[in-house]
Amino acid sequence: MFEFRPIINALLRAKSGAILLLMQIAITTAIVSNAAFIINDRIAYLEQETGLPEQDLFQFNMMIFGKNIDLAKQIEVDESLLRSIPGVIDAVYINAVPLSGGGSGGSYNLLPSNEKSPSINASYFRADSHVLNTLGVELVAGRDLNESDVMVTSDVSELPKVALVTQAMHDEMFPQGSGLGKTIYRRDNAIKIVGIIKLLKGPWLQDERRDRSLIFPQVRPSSFQKFLIRTEPNERAAVMRRIEDVLLAEYPDRVIDVIKGLDQLKAEYVAEDTLMVRMLMVLITVLVLITALGIFGLTLFNINKRLKQIGTRRALGARKSAIIRYFLVENTLICSVGVVLGSAGALWMGAKLMALFSLPSLSVSYVIVTGAFVILMSLFAVIGPAKRAADISPSIATRSI
Amino acid sequence: MLNMNGISKVYQTEMVQTHALRDFDLQVNEGEFIAVTGPSGSGKTTFLNIAGVLEPFTQGQYLLDGVDIGKLNDNQRADIRNQKIGYIFQGFNLIPDLNLYENVEVPLRYRGIKAAERKRRIESSLEQVGLASRAKHLPQQLSGGQQQRVAIARALAGKPRFLLADEPTGNLDSLMARQVMELLEQINRDGATIVMVTHDPELARRAPRNIQVVDGQIADFSLYQGNPAAVVGA
Ligand SMILES: Nc1ncnc2c1ncn2[C@@H]1O[C@H](COP(=O)(O)OP(=O)(O)OP(=O)(O)O)[C@@H](O)[C@H]1O
Ligand SMILES: [Mg+2]
């Protein structure tokens, strides 16, 4: 009924056209499955949960001038000014902004530096007790920072006695049991963990520290300042427009810039990945289209080359459905071999990519799905030409020489 | 067996209408061997294609074995071709990428015959045309006469009762032509009805019944025998 054997025999005797198609299918399968895998991996990265209400947060930088200005006092004044703007939920003076690509980090141990203990790298934020509310992140254990925790100092070596840590940081330092209330060390400074944050992505999404952060209740006054503000939903744009006027009215000798939403900062940080995803998607689409066109064209070419043969088959009693089936079977045979070769190629390519670009290893399910998709696509590409072939009149058998 | 009544065939192209057959009447009885002759373009192939259910006709009635061909759908027509009719073409029409065995197998597969029975039939019909030993060869490895014999084997394997041949010897030299003719005569003696179009008057004379198609109609044979010029001039 499906004529497998004669079709295979005929293909083996007239290989050239089939081999070209087969190679195209194999290459498409190999590239598309890897590209699809990378796209998926990148999309998961781009769409990862940050724990932050990115749409409601924004930051700005400020440079403040004036010899006689009391920076600590001015920061407090500015903070309360910002917090009083209608639409603002909370605002803090902060050393670094999550997702922005810029921040600070350090290493932390379970024991002071004169005793040996494993160290964990993490990023840290410094801000006053409004920080948790400003970030809009969730506390899962312990307590929030309060005003009495906050240490205002310009001394770089001084660290506050308490901190909040993220769950990921906590789990790294205390794989067994709870670390809440326990002490960790930054060099010889003891820091007590008073609260655990469910999820807070740090400044660097691409870094191993992305989930590991501490928040110190500390204000270190400087004339180069950074503020983070959270607004009510949909109020952000309006607040962002007012910032400069409000602050300059309070104290004019300062320059404000980089007023940017967190979503925008994140988009800038991941721009390269976004571009790669788009390019890979274009590549996949183009490849699939070219392959589909190739199958379509080759089938048309085969039909035109075999007009008389098709007419003869019809004259010998082939129904239209038998002609359509012939081309579908022939094409599927070629594509299946191509997909098998392509799958092997995909796994090989995946291993190479993994070694070269430290990508995660290609999962076999991508190869299987891509292979099935390529075969399905080839069936769609061949059905039109095959129907045309079936419409060839049997009288072609006698009419053409 | 074959009964055509007032068959006409019009080919319609953008520019012209060609009346390839006009009011064509013919009766063929079981077991006959008929040679069809006539000038080029007179409608012989058209007649054969309609008789072989390869082409639809414009008007008239065609009964084959009592079946009204004009009333059949495409699948039924394919099945009639497959089961009742064997074709032999001027150009042999073997499938170049299939070996002789597989070529003969083509119509048997369309009929859904089981592999063992197919093998038996293919071997016996290749035997009958004297090419059993070359079953694994490809068509292009054979001479024209041999290829035509394979085509005949293919037509015979389905055991058709009705064999149609359009200039089966047109591409062959006279020796091979005679061999093919002898084969056809043998097949006819075995019971098949044969209609053969030929340009070769010598071959035509060997057939028990001759008809001549002129200008899309059957010419009056007695008139032709009496005064050939009368027909040619028509
Ligand atoms: N598909 C077609 N479209 C248009 N006209 C056609 C078609 N097939 C045949 N004809 C015309 O029909 C007429 C009969 O053609 P046919 O092939 O039956 O002649 P023939 O007797 O077989 O000629 P020959 O001896 O040269 O093979 C011719 O005028 C031919 O040009
Ligand atoms: Mg002809």
Question: Are A319 and B89 an interchain contact pair (Cβ–Cβ within 8 Å)?
Answer: no
Which amino acid would we find at residue A134?
T
The stretch B143-150 carries a mean pLDDT of 92
B106-B109-B113-B119 Cα dihedral, nearest 10 degrees: 50
- CB of B91 sitting under 6 A from ligand 1: no
Three-state secondary structure call for residue B183: helix
Q: Which of A308, A317, A400 sits opposite B78 (nearest CB)?
A: A317
Helix axis angle, B174-189 to B144-157, nearest 10°: 10
**Dist CA A59 CA A240 (whole Å):** 9
How do residues A180-192 score in pLDDT, each as one tens digit?
A: 999 999 988 999 9
User: If you take atom 6 of ligand 1, which residue's CA is the nearest one?
Assistant: B11
**Dist CA A238 CA A87 (whole Å):** 8
Tokens for A82? Answer: 């910002």
Three-state secondary structure call for residue B143: coil
Q: Tell me, yes or no, if A10 comes closer than 8 A to chain B by beta carbon.
A: yes
Atom of ligand 1 nearest to the CA of B199: 25
Question: Are B75 and A320 an interchain contact pair (Cβ–Cβ within 8 Å)?
Answer: yes
How do residues A198-215 score in pLDDT, each as one tens digit?
A: 999 999 998 889 999 999
Phi, psi of B195 (to 5 degrees): -120, 125
Tell me which residue has tokens 């790298």. Answer: A121
Q: Tell me, yes or no, if B109 comes closer than 8 A to chain A by beta carbon.
A: yes
- CB of B43 sitting under 6 A from ligand 1: yes
Q: How confident is the model at residue B221 (pLDDT cuts 50, 70, 90)?
A: low
Cα–Cα distances (Å) from A17 to A294, A296, A299, in that order, read 11, 13, 10
Cα angle A379-A385-A389, degrees, rounded to a multiple of 5: 120
Write down the pLDDT at residue A267.
95
User: Smallest CA–CA separation between A20 and chain B, in Å?
Assistant: 18
Q: Rounded mean pLDDT of chain B?
A: 90
Helices H, strands E: what count in chain A? 12, 12
How do residues B55-67 score in pLDDT, each as one tens digit?
A: 999 999 999 999 9
User: If you take atom 28 of ligand 1, which residue's CA is the nearest one?
Assistant: B41
Least confident among A262-266, A359-363, B25-29, B33-37: A359-363
**Dist CA A371 CA A366 (whole Å):** 8
Q: Rounded mean pLDDT of chain A?
A: 92
Break chain A into its structural domains and give their ranges.
4-47+271-399, 66-252
Q: How confident is the model at residue A401 (pLDDT cuts 50, 70, 90)?
A: low
Write down the pLDDT at residue B220.
64
Tell me which residue has tokens 């009204």. Answer: B68
User: Smallest CA–CA separation between B223 and chain A, in Å?
Assistant: 30
- Judged against a pLDDT cut of 80, whether residue B135 lies above it is answered with yes
Phi, psi of A175 (to 5 degrees): -60, -35
* CATH architecture entry for B2-94+158-233: 3-Layer(aba) Sandwich (3.40)
Question: Which residues in B lie closer than 8 A to residue A18 (C-beta atoms)?
Answer: none
How do residues A302-329 score in pLDDT, each as one tens digit?
A: 888 888 999 999 999 999 999 999 999 9
Overall pTM > 0.90: no
Least confident among A8-22, A43-57, A162-176: A8-22
Question: Are A316 and B112 an interchain contact pair (Cβ–Cβ within 8 Å)?
Answer: no
Q: Return the closest-CA partner of residue A62 out of A253, A257, A230.
A: A257
Question: Which residues in A lie closer than 8 A to residue B54 (C-beta atoms)?
Answer: 315, 393-395, 397-398
Calculate how far, in angstroms, residue B44's C-alpha sits from the geometric centre of ligand 2: 6
Q: HSE of A50 in the Cβ direction (CA atoms, 13 Å)?
A: 24
Tokens for B233? Answer: 């001039």
Beta strands in A85-133 (DSSP E): 88-93, 104-109, 119-127
- The interface pTM score, or ipTM, of the predicted complex is 0.92
Atom of ligand 1 nearest to the CA of B13: 4
The stretch B8-13 carries a mean pLDDT of 93
Q: Which of B22, B44, B196 to mutate to test the pocket of ligand 1 (most atoms within 8 A of CB)?
A: B44
Phi, psi of B180 (to 5 degrees): -65, -40
Write down the pLDDT at residue A68.
86
**Dist CA B131 CA B134 (whole Å):** 6
Q: How confident is the model at residue A346 (pLDDT cuts 50, 70, 90)?
A: very high
Residue B20: its H or E element: strand B17-28
Three-state secondary structure call for residue B186: helix
Break chain B into its structural domains and give their ranges.
2-94+158-233
- Judged against a pLDDT cut of 50, whether residue B44 lies above it is answered with yes
Task: Print burial letters for B43-71: b (CB count within 10 Å at least 16), e (below 16).
Answer: bbbbbbbbbbbbbbbeebebebeeeebee
Closest chain A residue to B50, measured at CA: A395
